[in-house]
Amino acid sequence: MTPRRKICVVTGTRAEYGILSGLLFDIRDDDELDLQLIVTGAHLSEEFGNTFTFIEDDGFEITEKVNLLPEGDTPAMVAEATGRGVIGFSRAYSRLGPDVVVVLGDRYEILAAAQAAMLMHIPIAHIHGGETTEGAVDESIRHAVTKMAHIHFTSTELYRRRVMQLGENPKNVHAVGAPGLDNFVRIDLPDRKALEQFLGRPLRSPLIVITFHPVTLDHKSSEEAVGPLFGALDRFPEAVCVFTKANADAGGRRINQELEKYVQKNPDRSVLVSSLGQARYLGLLKIADVVVGNSSSGIIEAPSAGAPTVNIGDRQKGRVRAASVVDCKDTHDDIFRAIQYCMSDQFREKIQGGSNPYGEPGKISRNIKNILKSTGLESLIVKKFFDQNDFPEEKVV
């Protein structure tokens, strides 16, 4: 009898788990696969909501925990945490003996997980490679993980070509779409009443959902970074503002402190949540009048929810955008004008019925699972660099 293929999936943040959750269910429910789940990073922090409990509530068994959260949010502390992560992941892999390690995105926890797997000659599958975020250190991490990985799942054909441009074997680069979109059809999303009950306040219109992360290659203070955003929101005194906390990046804690101060000054019209969970977050996007901030969710998920997005500054610079995404500079007036435009009837009519360049929800995670299941792993470790003139003319999916 052929042994079940052991697929080890790593997750370090609430948003990342939400994107991976459909894939986790598909792997777990396949009798020919053995799901191993390593939880790390902000999942294990009380400050960031102990979101590993969401994973357990979904019925998953956490196979290993790798605790690497930085003691603070300076770049040096994040670098030290990455080093601890390499040690922790190497020990976890030694115990688990995975056949392939699956990582997503571009965070320092993922860099640690990929480094350990690469040095231990374990094949790596990378999701969401080939994208660009020029305002964040994530840009370098993502491309570094691409070069360490052996199987690639990109969210668009453009990103597939970019991964191939980095010298990866075209046969192992698959343009499948963004797996997080599957949650729009996989999960029963809460309605406005259920969300109001959870947040403890009416969610009247206009409703603004805000997720703002540090721009890790910018040298502004946290006050300077969020000040223009707050100034713009103050010009919509009738709006209800729902903030979600920043991730555990360098500067993330200081951003959260500023968010807490703003909510304390505006308790009648704003609320700050450590983590909504995937279902509540997507449900909130579906009723939002506008999504504001610099998170990838405003670029990737919000268009499928029908929500206009105001994307601030350079953190997501370079990503493919739907017509519903409006970019603006990180100034008070620009943010105000962008929010005003996105909430106008003219703009909402313009984007009605628009498509999402990151794919159609439904079968993306299942396609990834099937490729992980069927790909031969034996010859992956020794990688050849494919020059552009080696690329086949036909699309390989």
CA distance linking residue 129 with residue 117, whole number of Å: 17
What is this structure's pTM? 0.87
Average pLDDT, the chain: 91
- Amino acid identity for residue 10 in this structure: V
- Kindly write down the DSSP assignment for every residue of 163-216, as one continuous string: HHHTT--GGGEEE---GGGGHHHHS----HHHHHHHHTS--PSSEEEEE----T
Q: Among 29-38, 121-130, 173-182, 251-260, which stretch is predicted with the lowest mean pLDDT?
A: 251-260
Is the pLDDT at 232 greater than 80? The verdict is: yes
Q: Which residues of 28-53 are buried (b: 16+ CB within 10 A; e: fewer)?
A: bebeebbbbbbbbbbbbbeebbebbe
pLDDT (tens digit per residue) in 62-104: 999 999 988 777 889 989 999 999 999 999 999 999 999 999 9
CA distance linking residue 228 with residue 183, whole number of Å: 33
* pLDDT at position 218: 56
pLDDT (tens digit per residue) in 310-322: 999 988 888 899 9
- List phi, psi (to 5°) of 385: -85, 120
Give percent of the chain above pLDDT 90: 76
- pLDDT (mean) for 144-149: 97
pLDDT band at 147; cut points 50, 70, 90:
very high
Return the closest-CA partner of residue 151 out of 133, 127, 130. 127
pLDDT band at 397; cut points 50, 70, 90:
very low
pLDDT band at 353; cut points 50, 70, 90:
confident
- Tokens 């990046």 correspond to 249
* pLDDT at position 108: 93
Is the pLDDT at 301 greater than 90? The verdict is: yes
Q: Which tokens in the block code for residue 394?
A: 């036909």
Q: Is the dihedral of CA 104, 113, 373, 140 positive or negative?
A: positive
Contact 342, 232 (CB under 8 A): no
- pLDDT (mean) for 53-70: 93
pLDDT (tens digit per residue) in 201-219: 999 999 999 999 876 555 5
* pLDDT at position 396: 42
- Backbone dihedral region for residue 353 (phi beyond 0: left; psi -120 to 50: alpha; all else: beta): left
Domains (ranges, CATH) in the chain?
A: 5-178+360-390 (3.40.50.2000), 190-351 (3.40.50.2000)
Classified as helix, coil or strand, 325 is strand
* pLDDT at position 325: 97
* pLDDT at position 51: 84
* pLDDT at position 220: 64
- pLDDT (mean) for 367-392: 89
* pLDDT at position 160: 97
CA distance linking residue 6 with residue 372, whole number of Å: 10
* pLDDT at position 278: 87
